[in-house]
Amino acid sequence: MINDLVADTQFAFLRLPDYLRIRKVSLIRPFCEFSFVSGHYEVKTANTMAEIQQVLRLRFEVFYREFSSRRIRFPFLPYDVDGFDLLCDHLIIKDTRNDKVIAAYRLLHSEVAKEEFYSEGEFSFDGLLSTPDSKLELGRACVHRDYRQGTVMGLLWKGLLKYSRLTNTRYLFGCSSVQRKDFGAFNKMIETLRKKNALLDEKLVQPKRLFHLDQYPEIRKELDQVDGEGEMNSLMHMYILAGARMSSEGAYDEEMDCVDLLTWIDLKELPPSFERRFAC
């Protein structure tokens, strides 16, 4: 109990500076602002502090309560937050029946990114980033456990494509995460991606040394224990349907306890059926 309390206190203090900086922001002005309504859902870019706080709380519940092996039982600051949140737009879906944020994406456009993208902390992919045209980094995707059905996932994609069109974005990229429960299926996932011609050239993207799987022999051992069916999660599956390519080598995110694959989508090569389905 005491150890849990100490761990939770340290966890909160690590996030406190970023949270306080966000709390000081009185006016939210998204780089790209829009909204539309579908049924009892509103899809929009967050433009109030109350919405941002709901996003950070939702991310904490999904990433740390559900998926992470790091169990935070007594959080003094139950928000998932870092320094990128002030730079990014936050695409959200709200249930208009209760005014709650039930899904979110963090979006960082190449015209807004000041020093680097979040993904550059884990991967080296300068060759891809140096290609012409605007880029949009996708991150921190999450959906409340009570809303994980096709409708909400489809609305997220409608929002992403609308945002991309409004900002003249050509490339989408970010980290796709494989959770620990799926580690046994990792190699089969990679083989599935290879058969679909959905792997990026190894010369274009490599995990950085601190995140390379060779630094984590126990994790590498788990990944090599083939005991899964090679099923991708729904988010990764949607990326592949959109024509994504992913890195063949993963990067281990110790805090989130997951293995990330750098994911790259060229919207000019978006399958027509996919675009028709999610056009807005």
Instruction: Give the count of beta carbons closer than 10 Å to the beta carbon of residue 2.
Output: 6
Query: Buried (b) or exposed (e) across 84-105, using 16+ Cβ within 10 A?
Result: bbebbbbbbbbbeeeeebbbbb
Closest CA to 43 of 103, 108, 121, 124: 103
Which letter, b or e, does each residue of 126-152 get, where b requires 16 or more Cβ atoms within 10 Å of its Cβ? Answer: eebbeeeeebbbbbbbbbbeebeeeeb
> How do residues 125-139 score in pLDDT, each as one tens digit?
999 999 999 999 999
In the chain, which stretches have pLDDT less than 70? 1-7, 69-71, 74, 226-230
CATH architecture under which domain 2-278 falls: 3-Layer(aba) Sandwich (3.40)
Determine the angle formed by the axes of helices 217-224 and 186-195, rounding to 10 degrees.
60
pLDDT attached to residue 229: 58
Q: What is the CA 207 to chain-centroid distance, rounded?
A: 17
Q: What is the reported pLDDT for 16?
A: 84
**Amino acid found at 104:** A
| Gap between the Cα atoms of 56 and 65, Å rounded | 13
Summarize pLDDT for 231-279 with one digit per residue, the tens: 778 899 999 999 999 999 999 998 888 999 999 999 999 999 998 999 8
Listed by start position, the domains of the chain span 2-278
End-to-end CA distance of the chain: 50
Strand partners, 128: none
What are phi and psi for residue 232, nearest 5 degrees? Answer: -90, 150
Looking up tokens 């083989």 gives 191
State how far the Cα of 152 lies from the Cα of 147, in Å rounded to an integer: 7
Contact criterion met (CB below 8 Å) for 96 and 40: yes
